[in-house]
């Protein structure tokens, strides 16, 4: 398949999923969805299509979106184009994270890299102590609906064995 065909398919994929994309959800949710789009797209590319070419394609599409936003005459069109730009940013972020942890090198072979992102032995077990010891001070008035307060053992006044009695604040 030619590069222009990949570009056309990628833009089509973004436009099709624009309506179901979780724009008003937390960043982690959006980027998880973007990772799914990236993985889905990676299933249909051949071995000659590299991650760098993919990033160039996304950046080119984003530049086109910005030009269209500048020329747009209605707020509805601006919102629609801006939402596509957010999807592109999130996809680029996910790809950069995959490259950072070394699961995507050269070829756009994301399907094997996704296992490393969600592998519980790698991502959770190494960081459990950090999460359990970290304290977070959050003023109640600054909390949103999707924010949580980390209750440490010293805050709860109970041992780790009694953690079943802890309450979510």
Which residues make beta-bridge pairs with 107?
A: 50
Note down the domain range covering 28: 3-119
pLDDT at position 138 is 43
pLDDT at position 114 is 45
pLDDT band of 160, cuts 50, 70, 90:
low
Q: Is residue 70 part of a domain?
A: yes
Residues 43 and 92 in one domain: yes
pLDDT band of 162, cuts 50, 70, 90:
low
Residues 110 and 129 in one domain: no
3-state secondary structure of 47: coil
* Helix (H) or strand (E) segment spanning residue 94: helix 75-100
Residues 43 and 109 in one domain: yes
| 43-57, 66-80, 121-135: range with lowest mean pLDDT | 121-135
Residues 100 and 160 in one domain: no
Q: How far is CA 91 from the centre of its chain?
A: 6
pTM exceeding the 0.75 threshold for the entire prediction = no
Q: Is residue 169 part of a domain?
A: no
């Amino acid at each position: 398949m030619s590069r222009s065909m990949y570009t056309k398919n990628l833009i089509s994929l973004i436009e099709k999923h624009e309506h179901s994309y979780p724009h008003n959800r937390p960043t982690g949710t959006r980027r998880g969805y973007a990772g799914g789009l990236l993985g889905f797209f990676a299933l249909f590319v051949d071995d000659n299509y590299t991650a760098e070419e993919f990033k160039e394609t996304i950046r080119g599409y984003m530049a086109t979106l910005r030009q269209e936003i500048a020329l747009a005459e209605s707020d509805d069109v601006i919102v629609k184009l801006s939402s596509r730009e957010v999807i592109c940013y999130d996809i680029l972020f996910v790809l950069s994270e995959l490259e950072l942890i070394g699961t995507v090198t050269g070829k756009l072979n994301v399907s094997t890299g996704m296992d490393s992102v969600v592998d519980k032995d790698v991502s959770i077990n190494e960081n459990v102590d950090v999460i359990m010891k970290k304290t977070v001070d959050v003023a109640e008035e600054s909390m949103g609906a999707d924010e949580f307060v980390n209750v440490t053992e010293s805050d709860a006044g109970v041992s780790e064995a009694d953690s079943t009695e802890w309450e979510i604040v």
